[in-house]
Chain A
């Protein structure tokens, strides 16, 4: 039944140690998003893919990268995590022409020690 799947649900990494979060979807949606959400705040968009086209938000740090090898999968790479990168990372998907279908995954809680 799961439509947007994120792995792992909890990730602990050390300061400066690269980490990759993954997202997969079974909806065949052509748009995928990565959001960062810190405690008691709204989700903040990092970047999104419209099909294969990558769209980076202007204030997304260079430390954050993304890959989308195919329609179903999208990865978030944090090259050198800092303490300030500890947050919930949310993946979402949508489909062109169907704006009423914008779904989120359960999130990955990242802890940086």
Chain B
């Protein structure tokens, strides 16, 4: 089955860019997602990318997908203290009716 891996911690200074990396194993995963979880809250869908895309940009967020290497990254430009959270990478199918496979999450700490 699918396995999703992420580094566990990232610390950046306010105003710098953050890059959170993720790898997955199942090349048939067609949608890849980034979720944000703030303390004590549920998961907020930040963005997703379809596997036939290389890049997707949404305001301060840029998602890069290297399908050959099964590598996904999330870049947050001009990182703010409000971006401090846990970021989960997830992989899913095209059907929309099967559960996502999550990574363990990357805890992003933003230093003022």
Contact = CB atoms under 8 A, between A and B. Distances in A.
Interface string B30-47: 110101000011111100
B43 A99 contact: no
A61 B39 CA distance: 27
Given A42-B103, A42-B104, A96 B45 contact: no
A99 B96 CA distance: 4
Nearest to B93: A99
A106 interface: yes
Interface string B71-112: 000000000000000001000111111011011110100000
A43 B43 CA distance: 9
Interface of A: 4, 6, 30-31, 33, 40-43, 45, 48, 50, 90, 92, 94-107, 109
